[in-house]
Chains A and B, each alone.
Chain A
Amino acid sequence: MTGCLPDRDLWDLSEGDGADGDREHLAGCRLCQWRTRRLVHDVKVIGAVLHGVPPPASVPTEAPPVRTPWAAAAALAAISLALMWTVRRPPAARPAAQVERTDMPVLEAVSHAVFPDAGIENALGSAAPSEIELMAAAVDDAVPCEWQPGGCEEPQ
């Protein structure tokens, strides 16, 4: 079929379009004439089939059917993941010290190894009285004797 027209050109010619050269070829080529007749016949048959009712059995749609349980499970999993991500997301303004202790345990261990007295910070931290404690001490007269009106002398 060397030199014969492709289906697309035959289709154009059958639709009343196409180039003059193609039309001349078709007029002189029995094979292309037969192919064109076949093309037109096929389309007529297809049109007739589609003009009627679909066959009894289910005809699949253009998209694969969605399987409800899988879709529901996938949706549930996606929602769960989103929820977990939202709940476990770190808060925006976390204190630096807390971040250091909870998120960088390796650095904390190294720091303790290099500076073994780092625990003093905790000791000082816990010894530092709060304002409430000072006020309570004042109320209880638990003020150093030097600061009291009688000084540190033993009462007679």
Chain B
Amino acid sequence: MGVGTSYEELDNAQRPRVERLCRLLLADVHEAQDVAQEVLIKLFRAQQARHAGMAWDPWVTRVTVNACRDRRRSAWWRRLRDGRAPLIEEQLTGPGSSPEDALVAAETRHRIWAAFRHLSRRQQEVFALRHVEGFSTAEVAETLDLSTGSAKRHLFRAVQRLRDALQGTP
């Protein structure tokens, strides 16, 4: 994505990733949609400002992760006020299931998602960027302001817990 990229191209390229990351890092579907919209508005403004030589992928990732963190910090009072909104599949947009995903039984998918929701915030972020978004470990560390060693530690703990869920180990 170069300097001359139109917003439409930029939006088409970034929107699925922004929505996916928000869905991963926020448990509430409405909050995920809100935050994704906020990030896309920031993207629009940044694109209008025409930042020369902007590398959009890391910028969008960083802005999305920070927006999700902010929302999670302020989520406690909203939960107190509104109660929790359930996740409803029909309300979610994004890419369909992959062939590998389709092979995994519904119960296992449930377990994996539940295990992911029970990871720490850091572990969620590191795993999502590394194994869902395909960042290198160094890129993950840089995006999240972590040392590479720390990113690896979080990643391995996340992998252990998620594998336990995959194998049905309590």
Are B156 and A51 interface neighbours, CB within 8 A?
no
Q: Which of A40-48, A99-107, A111-119, A130-138 lies at the interface with chain B? A: A40-48
Are B163 and A46 interface neighbours, CB within 8 A?
yes
Our pick among B98, B118, B163 for the contact of A48 (Cβ within 8 Å) is B98
Q: Mark B82-124, 1 if CB is under 8 A from A, else 0.
A: 0110111100101111101100101011101110111111001
Chain B interface residue count, CB cutoff 8 Å, equals 51
| Min CB–CB distance B141 → chain A (angstroms) | 12
CA gap between A105 and B83 in the complex, in Å? 53
Q: Which of B4-12, B20-28, B63-71 lies at the interface with chain A? A: B20-28
Within 8 A of B (CB), among A28-54: 39, 42-54
Residues of A within 8 A of B89 (CB): 53-56
Residues of A within 8 A of B97 (CB): 52-53
Given A7-B160, A11-B156, A55-B113, is A68 in contact with B83 using a C-beta cutoff of 8 Å? yes
Within 8 A of B (CB), among A53-69: 53-62, 65-66, 68
Q: Which of A11, A49, A56 has the most CB of B within 10 A?
A: A49
Q: Which residue of A lies closest to B157 (CB)?
A: A8
CA gap between A7 and B161 in the complex, in Å? 13
Are A15 and B114 interface neighbours, CB within 8 A?
no
Our pick among A7, A50, A66 for the contact of B24 (Cβ within 8 Å) is A50
Given A7-B160, A43-B159, is A54 in contact with B113 using a C-beta cutoff of 8 Å? yes
| Min CB–CB distance A62 → chain B (angstroms) | 5
Q: Which residue of A lies closest to B114 (CB)?
A: A59
Residues of A within 8 A of B108 (CB): 49
Is there a chain B Cβ closer than 8 Å to A127's Cβ?
no
Q: Which residue of B lies closest to A12 (CB)?
A: B152
Is there a chain A Cβ closer than 8 Å to B132's Cβ?
yes
Our pick among B76, B87, B95, B131 for the contact of A46 (Cβ within 8 Å) is B131
Are A60 and B166 interface neighbours, CB within 8 A?
no
CA gap between A155 and B107 in the complex, in Å? 120
A sample of 9 cross-chain residue pairs with beta-carbon separation below 8 angstroms, ordered by A number, consists of A42-B163, A43-B162, A50-B24, A51-B98, A53-B94, A59-B87, A60-B117, A61-B28, A68-B80
Top 5 A-B pairs, shortest CB-CB distance: A47-B131, A48-B100, A58-B86, A61-B27, A56-B89
